[in-house]
Amino acid sequence: MASLIESIEYGIGILGGFARLCLLALVGLVATDVLLRYFFSISPVGLQELEWHLLSPIALLGISYALKHRADVRVDVIYDRLPDGGKQLIDLISGTLTVVIALAITWLSWPYVMQSFHLAEGSPDPGGLPYRYLLKAFIPLGFVALALQGLADLLRAVLALSGTPVPASPTAPDQPNA
């Protein structure tokens, strides 16, 4: 189980790296768009659409990456006061709920993405971007990644409850939990 947890979190780290690159690209695109608009009175539609297209991988892949690094929102006032067994039980329940909800959203979003693919959906705006279905594909991909990270958290809690050594948490020791 420990190697499965590490493999899942390694993959989530790769997806998180991609989301970080998209964020860097978004900052560059916004700066470029502002410069083009105010200094040259140019405002390409495709550039503007690409900006909000980049939000999809940032948000949808960033969710699982944030969960991996414990940057998610928890009620730490209560959680921190619980004994280790109580924390592990909450982690087990929250991991299970994360997997179930993420898989349900993945299942429900699949027809939406496939409809877009079959229509070869693109931007309705002149000069807009084609292949909008690629953008929409981040919905099930992001929630599969979230389900996998939830599974890793669930397995980590199972190992902790059984008294088995647990792989090190990806959160650095000097970083406080969010």
Q: What is the pTM of this model?
A: 0.85
CB 55, CB 76: distance < 8 Å: no
Range in 27-31, 39-43, 99-103 the model is least confident about: 39-43
Spatial distance between the Cα atoms of 19 and 62, rounded to a whole number of angstroms: 6
* Residue 175 confidence (pLDDT): 46
pLDDT at residue 13 above 90?
A: yes
Q: Could you tell me which residue, 47 or 73, shows the higher pLDDT?
A: 47
For the segment 87-104, what is each residue's pLDDT rounded down to a tens digit?
Answer: 899 989 999 999 999 999
Q: Where are the domains of the chain?
A: 2-73+81-162
Q: Could you tell me which residue, 13 or 168, shows the higher pLDDT?
A: 13
* Residue 94 confidence (pLDDT): 92
Give me the DSSP letters along 62-120.
HHHHHHHTT-S---HHHHTTS-HHHHHHHHHHHHHHHHHHHHHHHHHHHHHHHHHHHTT
pLDDT at residue 107 above 80?
A: yes
C-alpha angle 86/91/94, rounded to 5°? 125
* Residue 176 confidence (pLDDT): 47
Spatial distance between the Cα atoms of 74 and 144, rounded to a whole number of angstroms: 21
> What average pLDDT does this structure show over 115-120?
92
pLDDT at residue 173 above 60?
A: no
> What average pLDDT does this structure show over 143-151?
97
